[in-house]
Amino acid sequence: MVTPHPRTALEATSRRRLLRTAWPWRALAYLATALPPMLAAMLLLALFGLPWAVLLRWLTTRADRSPGELLLLALLGAALTVTIGPMGAMPLAALERLRLRLVDDRPVTAGHRRPPEATPWSWLRTRYTEAITWRELGYVCLLATVLPVLYGVVGLVVLLLGAYAVSPVLVHDGEAVTLGFGEVTTVGGTLPYAVIGLLLLPTLVPYLLTGLAGVHGALARALLHGGSDERLRAELVEVSRSRARLVAAFEAERRRIERDLHDGAQQRLVGLTLQLGLARLDLPPGSASAQAVASAHGQAKQLMAELRELIHGIHPQVLTDLGLTAALQELASQAAIEVVVDSDVAGRLPDHIEATAYFVAAEALTNVAKHSGATRAAVTVRQQRDRLAVEVDDDGRGGADPARGTGLTGLADRVAVVDGRMLLSSPVGGPTRVRVELPCG
């Protein structure tokens, strides 16, 4: 089995052959170049803290200081952090992304968005509303506070091991030398320390330094890398746009099919029915030919009725001509049970929203007639700003379950396509309420 090449210094510390790779040297270069960014971060935080320190010193020397002055001090410090902090953190974060390549082979990007307008105000507004900007400020705070402590602890361990390794040289003229947890006065007493130092310096220290650099790099990547978030956001936007295009194309194709059937096949079928009716008049009554033509005439009329229902199911013409409210009223008039429609939608909505709302109501009423045992239903439509709410209530026995194949899953899928949602309340014994909310802005 081929072991994949480690991509980060932190991954490299788990490999047995770390000392044979370039990772310890890369980690050493990363740690050695960390001092200037740390000093810059400390200077930046000092700029925030300087007004606090000056005012605090001034207030502590006054006998008549008040809580309001202390509050003013806190607000001033917070204002400096919010205004100056991101501007100072961004260039420092850019430098840290360049240094991160020493301990992380994966690509890292800032992920800052492009301002909508080429003006300084637009640039500032964009930067101050990005999450990555505030993560950069958080990284600068870590770089000035927590990370120096980690570096100091590891540095003390390395210095202690180095002192162990050269301890025989440090002892002379019987003077006591402190080596960590004890004191020695002779060269012989330093030999155990020297052995420990000589053994651990070439073995433990490379792992220790590589691990420290790996932890620092992992923190830097977690806070400074914004490419994946921006890419995911762009992909989600593209998915939403493509879904909207598919819905629009589907509705356009549905209307085309409806027009072709209405203006083409239905008109020809009407003509055929008329011709068969005229042919019946020219044939002797009761003859075999008259009976055959009469049967064909009846089948043609039945087929015309079925085709009319099919066309209405594809896309009702009243929905296209008069809108959602009129289409729902016509749907209620054709229902098998009493249906009351209450709609406050006066104008027209986007075509795909009207079609979705209509077919949701039609499917829900079909389920009511087939499965609920209800005698009455109500369809309520309310437009609330940029949302359209459609509710279908019945007085049936309830207990509707999407898992039982009553078409509710199909309703939810149809609603989800247009970025809407469906809510269902159907306790056993009834009543049942289906509520659909669709974006119509």
**What does the alpha-carbon distance between residue 101 and residue 225 come to, in Å, rounded to a whole number?**
12
- In the three-class reduction of DSSP (H, G, I as helix; E, B as strand; rest coil), residue 77 is classed as helix
Q: Is position 231 within any domain? A: no
Residues 200 and 274 placed together within one structural domain of the fold: no
Residues 169 and 210 in one domain: yes
- The letter for the amino acid at 125 is R
Residue 99 within any structural domain of the chain: yes
Query: Is 244 among the domain residues?
Result: yes
Confidence of residue 86 (pLDDT cuts 50, 70, 90): confident
| Domain end position, chosen among 257, 282, 314 | 314
* Alpha carbon distances (Å) from 15 to 4, 7, 12, 74, 221: 11, 12, 5, 49, 21
Domain count, the chain: 3
In a domain, 181, yes or no: yes
Asked whether residue 379 falls in the same domain as residue 293, the answer is no
The answer to whether residues 300 and 328 belong to one domain is no
Range among 31-35, 105-109, 168-172, 408-412 with highest mean pLDDT value: 31-35
Range with the poorest average pLDDT among 191-200, 306-315, 317-326:
306-315
Going by pLDDT thresholds of 50, 70 and 90, the confidence category of residue 200 is confident
**Is 390 within a domain?**
yes
Q: 418 and 277 in one domain?
A: no
Whether residues 431 and 336 share a domain: the answer is: yes
- Indicate whether 187 belongs to any domain: yes
Banded pLDDT at 52 (limits 50, 70, 90): low
Q: What is the residue range of 404's domain?
A: 318-439
- Same structural domain for residues 309 and 352? no
Residues 289 and 398 in one domain: no
- Same structural domain for residues 332 and 418? yes
Q: Indicate if 32 and 68 belong to the same structural domain.
A: yes
Over range 246-260, report the average pLDDT: 62
Whichever domain contains 369, its CATH number is 3.30.565.10
pLDDT tens-place string over residues 281-319: 777 777 777 777 777 777 777 776 666 666 555 667 777
When the pLDDT of each residue in the chain is averaged and rounded to a whole number, the result is 79
Residue 185: partners with Cβ closer than 8 Å, 6 or more residues away: 171, 174, 175, 176, 177
- Is residue 431 reached through a cis peptide bond, with omega within 30 degrees of 0 on the bond before it? yes
Given this model, what pLDDT does residue 230 score? 54
- Domain shared by 266 and 139, yes or no: no
Last residue of a domain, one of 167, 194, 224: 224
Residues 145 and 208 reside in one and the same domain: yes
With a cut of 90, say whether residue 219 has pLDDT above it.
yes
Domain-ending residue, one of 314, 333, 364: 314
